[in-house]
Homo-oligomer: A and B are copies of this chain.
């Protein structure tokens, strides 16, 4: 029986990354990914992808260790924000550049999530030639268009999935279910994209870690070119370019200089438009086949996360 689900969240807005090498990380995102700097405050520099309508896409904060700070998710309306706040333990803050009141909460694994409605529009330093885009087209490196998704590591993937479904009203689209029947990775969407927020088992049992943040490009060719750009500039390419079997995303995984894993991704014209989409489950055996075109999943994909695990 299908249950109507009011969409209370519009989309993932921005993410904060910690980096022990703030200058090198900034250079990576600006020079190689094609982003621009759109603000500075304290130990943080704010970065903007050219088609993001909001003030910033990534917030880079200097820290002794890499990792993920807050994930900001925009509500679908002021009322929707209030509905979410009423159902989730948390607190109101108003402490972020370009954002109004933020309802700050945590997923069961301890990742900070900030829900908000009020947001400052990005104002282009020089107006773009076409007025229906936020900033000028950079024509530089990977030319990333927008934030795509966040993939967290979690010591308790099923609990985090329930949090997304019940608290954030997100919809599951795909999952890996181990032979014991327990999901080890879950993909959820709050939009028409096939996924926005992902949890993967943290085999170290640590909490609050990041697997990767993904930036979307317009074409697969952008990603092939980005591979050349990373090769030329000494950026570690972990794996790819290749196509995921799960979600079918065309991908490239690299480590930004601070150590965080960054995915460049392209979904083509894929959307999950069916309101009653049934979650697709992959078994451990299917997963073992590797990626869509046969690439074996690289070992570090199961071990590397930020910050580094301490146990």
Contact status A132-B76, CB under 8 Å: no
What's the number of copies of this chain in the assembled complex? 4
Q: Which 10 A-B pairs have the closest CB atoms?
A: A218-B268, A192-B192, A221-B221, A139-B229, A4-B77, A11-B273, A216-B269, A10-B275, A227-B293, A237-B294
Q: Name the residue in A5, A222, A225, A273 with the highest tally of chain B Cβ atoms < 10 Å from its Cβ.
A: A273
Contact status A139-B274, CB under 8 Å: no
Interface size class of A (residues with CB under 8 A): 35 or more
Contact status A293-B130, CB under 8 Å: no
Is A240 engaged at the interface, CB distance under 8 Å to the other chain? yes
Beyond A80-B4, A221-B220, is A231–B292 a contact (Cβ under 8 Å)? yes
Taken together as a complex, chains A and B put the C-alpha atoms of A128 and B245 apart, in Å, by 12
A residues at B contact (CB < 8 Å): 2, 4-7, 10-11, 32, 51, 53, 74, 76-80, 128-133, 136-137, 139-141, 143, 145-146, 148, 174, 191-193, 216-222, 224-232, 234, 237-243, 245-248, 250, 252, 266-271, 273-275, 277, 280, 292-295
**Could you show 15 A-B contacts with beta carbons less than 8 Å apart?**
A11-B273, A51-B269, A77-B275, A137-B229, A137-B232, A143-B225, A145-B270, A146-B273, A191-B192, A192-B193, A192-B271, A221-B221, A224-B243, A224-B250, A237-B293
Contact status A53-B227, CB under 8 Å: no
Contact status A232-B293, CB under 8 Å: no
Contact status A224-B231, CB under 8 Å: no
A237 nearest CB across to chain B (Å): 5
A268 nearest CB across to chain B (Å): 3
Q: Which residue of B lies closest to A266 (CB)?
A: B269
Q: Which residues of B contact A224 (CB under 8 A)?
A: 220, 243, 250
A49 nearest CB across to chain B (Å): 10
Q: Which residues of B contact A5 (CB under 8 A)?
A: 77
Q: Which residues of B contact A145 (CB under 8 A)?
A: 268-270
